[in-house]
């Protein structure tokens, strides 16, 4: 449990790095889009080879498909609810919609981060050590997520301490989610573990398609495809090492 929680903290700590950069460093929206595109490619690789493939190897196609669909639906519904309460465009460097509630932004950040952290916890099950590729993917994708969102919230008038407190809270929640992913599933049947792995993969993929990639395309243009492939390639090579 401690190992899972530690690596969940490592992945979540990237949110604080990105938040600090978004609040206090002058970063162009185009550069933010480039970093988001690279991070998206990294996550696609991790959810493909470290989550979905392992889920299939553990329990076959039925558990994998059920997990993927369930994760996608749950994230979609949660994202829809958050968006309708002012949390849409939460990853945009242009800022959330005027008057967006801090609660909605916080819930949106949690919704985006929990599946990734749970995936870290699940990767430690079985005594083989943490999935380094998963941790690296979460770390590298969390920086552009919080960087873009923090820059946007700052431009929308939110104070720096308030923004940073939000990401501290999400980092703590990510640590707990990783630990719980291990505690609740250690000793569970392969079908259950596989379903949860696929669930996390489905939620992450839906998050990428709904929030990160559209924002990256809006601000970085045609280079997004190339940078996404570069991120995918880097994470793939790491998972094969």
Half-sphere exposure (Cβ direction) of 19: Cα atoms closer than 13 Å: 22
Which comes out higher in pLDDT, residue 13 or 228? 228
Q: What's the rounded Cα separation, in Å, for the pair 3 and 149?
A: 29
Question: Residue 225: what pLDDT?
Answer: 93
Average pLDDT, the chain: 81
Question: Residue 96: which pLDDT band, with cuts at 50, 70 and 90?
Answer: low
pLDDT category, 128, cuts 50, 70, 90?
A: low
Its pTM stands at: 0.81
Average pLDDT over residues 19-30: 82
In the 8-state DSSP scheme, what is residue 97? P
Residue 100, pLDDT above cutoff 60: no
**Distance between CA atoms of 12 and 117, rounded to whole angstroms?**
8
Taking residues 11-35, report their average pLDDT. Answer: 84
pLDDT for 64 equals 95
Residue, of 163 and 181, whose pLDDT is higher? 163
**Tens digit of pLDDT for each residue in 180-212?**
877 777 777 889 888 988 998 998 899 888 888
Mean pLDDT of 226-230: 94
- Looking at 44-48, 167-171, 193-197, 235-239, which range is the least confident one? 235-239
Total domains in the chain come to: 1
Q: Is 200 within the bounds of a domain? A: yes
The Cβ of residue 99 has, within 10 Å, a number of other Cβ atoms equal to: 7
Q: Above 60 in pLDDT, residue 127?
A: no
Q: Is residue 38 part of a domain?
A: yes
Is 137 among the domain residues?
yes
Measured over the CA atoms of residue 44, residue 17, residue 105 and residue 91, the dihedral's sign is: negative
What would you report as the CA-atom Rg of the chain, rounded to the nearest whole angstrom?
Answer: 17
**Residue 24: inside a domain:** no
- % of the chain with per-residue pLDDT over 70: 86
Q: What's the burial of 157, exposed, middle or buried (CB within 10 Å: 0-12/13-18/19+)?
A: exposed
Domain around 144? 2-19+29-240
């Amino acid at each position: 449990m401690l190992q899972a929680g530690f690596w969940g903290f490592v992945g979540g700590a990237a949110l604080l790095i990105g938040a600090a950069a978004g609040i206090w460093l002058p970063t162009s929206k185009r550069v933010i889009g480039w970093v988001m595109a690279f991070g998206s490619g990294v996550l696609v690789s991790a959810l493909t080879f470290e989550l979905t493939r392992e889920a299939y190897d553990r329990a076959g196609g039925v558990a994998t498909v059920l997990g993927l669909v369930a994760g996608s639906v749950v994230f979609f519904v949660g994202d829809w609810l958050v968006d309708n309460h002012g949390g849409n465009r939460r990853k945009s460097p242009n800022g959330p919609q005027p008057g967006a509630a801090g609660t909605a932004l916080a819930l949106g950040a949690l919704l985006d981060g929990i599946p990734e952290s749970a995936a870290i916890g699940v990767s430690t099950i079985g005594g083989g050590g943490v999935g380094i590729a998963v941790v690296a993917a979460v770390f590298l994708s969390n920086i552009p997520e919080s960087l873009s969102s923090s820059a946007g919230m700052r431009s929308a008038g939110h104070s720096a301490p308030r923004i940073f407190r939000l990401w501290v809270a999400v980092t703590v929640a990510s640590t707990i989610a990783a630990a719980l992913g291990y505690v609740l599933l250690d000793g569970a049947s392969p079908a259950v573990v596989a379903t949860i792995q696929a669930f996390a993969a489905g939620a992450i993929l839906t998050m990428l398609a709904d929030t990160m990639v559209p924002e990256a395309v809006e601000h970085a243009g045609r280079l997004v495809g190339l940078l996404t492939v570069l991120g995918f390639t880097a994470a793939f090579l790491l998972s094969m090492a």
